[in-house]
Amino acid sequence: MNNFCRKFFFLKLFRNNGEIFCRQFSNSHISLKSKSSFNIIHHLRCKEVRFLHTGVGLRTANTGQELLESKEENSDSQQNDELDFKVAKYADLATDLEIKKKILMILMEHEVSKLEGRKVPSKISIEEMRELLSTYSYSSRVKYMRFLAEKELKRIAERRRKETRVIEREKWLIEKENLKPVEHIQYGIGHNTMILRVRRSSIFRYAYQRLANSVLYGQKFVVDMDFDCFMRKQDCNNCGEQLLELYSANRKNAYPFDLTFCNADLNSPTMSAFRKYMPNLYAPDNFITVTDLSYLDIYPKEKLVYITPYAKEPLKVYDHNAIYIIGGLVDKCIREPVVLAKAKREQIRAVHLPYDEYLMWGRGNKSLPLNHLLDILLEMKNTNDWKKAFKYVPQRKLVRSLDLYAEYS
């Protein structure tokens, strides 16, 4: 009977509206009086019912897991929507999920620092967020936010001063209109005067005229901008500030150089900082040549002279026909003579300024800021006197008289 039941009986149990049915699929008539047949059917039914209950439990567990997964997906999608909404201002920077999370973390740090009473800016711009994303520690972000807060306070104070001056001038104009005309001449500010007022725009036009003459007839001066790979981010910003001071010192001089920035990448950190400090860089009256070409492609090699403190040959006599080159870098953390190595690699004459013959140098290296170096060369160009030229060397670099007295006493 066991074999017979295995061959001709198929019990199919299925669930319909919570009820369990047993269906018989067979063309043969089988007597159900036999105990063995009842036992077999009962045994099969119990197995199927147990299997059914197990399947129902598994399906219930699977359904619960699917619900949890769907809830997690919904929560993830909701979190992504909230994240997108919070970083919508910085959509250009949020290229992937990790950057979005870091932007959200920076915004949370900004809010927490504000609640703790620290100096933080009221808002974070896109450029400032780009700078914060490049930092890798919490302390550096806190310092940068403090720096931004101080800049914002300075801007607010300057705006208030301007508003105060405007209000005071309006009051002064009202008082001036209400004054009765006098019979005799009144001298002083706001009254009759014999002195012609020289305006700021007139001074600038005069300086630009000198720069135009230097482009036509003046001596060439090159700043090599090929050292960004050796500097840190803050050094590049500092170099951009020094380049602005260099341009200002050259413009104020009576006989300026014709400035040329060679090997300049406009997207480099130094040039980006320089353009930030000098927005009118490409104005037609600035007379600065900015090019990505090398000085070897523009000027003859025999006229090029590289100035670096690591060179062995001193610059004893100033040559008015030479084209002097300085490296556009801030070497606070650079221990290797990268400028001298480049001059040797390109087979260019390298010299150093004769500090030891005229000065008592103190501690530290003999590298000077770019604007001070240009001031020294401008003074040598105009007076040909090293003693007058070295007055632009900062006093912190030299041995003080008290230290010298203490050393020899």
Span 138-164, average pLDDT: 91
Cα separation, 287 vs 208, whole angstroms: 8
Nearest alpha carbon to residue 250 among 225, 284, 214: 214
**258 has which bridge partners?**
220
Name the band, by pLDDT with cuts 50, 70 and 90, for residue 86: low
Taking all residues of the chain, what is their mean pLDDT, rounded to a whole number? 78
Q: Report pTM.
A: 0.63
Res 288 pLDDT > 70: yes
Lowest-confidence pick of 196-205, 236-245, 395-404:
395-404
Q: Which of 151-165, 203-217, 226-240, 348-362 has the highest mean pLDDT?
A: 151-165
Cα separation, 329 vs 307, whole angstroms: 13
Let me know: does 372 contact 394? Beta carbons within 8 Å.
Answer: yes
* pLDDT for the residue numbered 1: 45
Span 246-264, average pLDDT: 92
* pLDDT for the residue numbered 166: 94
Question: 19-24 and 220-224: which strand pairing?
Answer: unpaired
- Tell me the pLDDT tens digit for each residue of 15-35: 333 333 344 434 444 444 444
Let me know: does 26 contact 8? Beta carbons within 8 Å.
Answer: yes
Q: Which two tokens stand for residue 241?
A: 């500030």
Q: What percent of the chain has pLDDT over 90?
A: 31
Res 115 pLDDT > 80: yes
Span 113-122, average pLDDT: 89
- Domain ranges for the chain: 84-178, 218-353
Q: Which two tokens stand for residue 262?
A: 């060679």
Residues 6+ apart with CB under 8 A from 137: none
* pLDDT for the residue numbered 35: 44
Res 240 pLDDT > 60: yes
Task: Tell me the three-class secondary structure of the chain, residue by residue.
Answer: CHHHHHHHCCEEEEEECCEEEEEECCCCCCCCCCHHHHHHHHHHHHHHHHHHHHHHHHHHHHHHHHHHHHHHHHHHHHHHHHHHHHCHHHCCCCCCHHHHHHHHHHHHHHHHHHHCCCCCCCCCCHHHHHHHHCCCCHHHHHHHHHHHHHHHHHHHHHHHHHHHHHHHHHHHHHHHHHCCCCCCCCECCCCECCCCCCCHHHHHHHHHHHHHHHHHHCCEEEEECCCHHHCCHHHHHHHHHHHHHHHHHHHHCCCCCEEEEECCCCCCHHHHHHHHHCCCCCCCCCCCEECCCCHHHCCCHHHEEEECCCCCEECCCCCCCCEEEEECCCCCCCCCCHHHHHHHHCCCEEEECCHHHHCCECCCCCCCCHHHHHHHHHHHHHHCCHHHHHHHCCHHHECCHHHHHHHHC
What's at 17, amino acid-wise?
N
The CATH label, of 3.40.1280.30, 3.40.50.300, 3.90.1150.200, 3.10.300.10, for the domain at 218-353 is 3.40.1280.30
Span 249-270, average pLDDT: 91
- Tell me the pLDDT tens digit for each residue of 52-78: 444 444 444 555 565 556 555 555 555
How would you label 88-112 residue by residue, b for 16+ Cβ within 10 Å and e otherwise?
ebbeebbeeeeebebbbebbebbee
Lowest-confidence pick of 21-35, 107-121, 186-200:
21-35
Cα separation, 84 vs 105, whole angstroms: 13
* pLDDT for the residue numbered 223: 94
Place of tokens 């030479």: 322
Let me know: does 259 contact 288? Beta carbons within 8 Å.
Answer: yes
Q: Which two tokens stand for residue 199?
A: 């305006």
* pLDDT for the residue numbered 248: 92
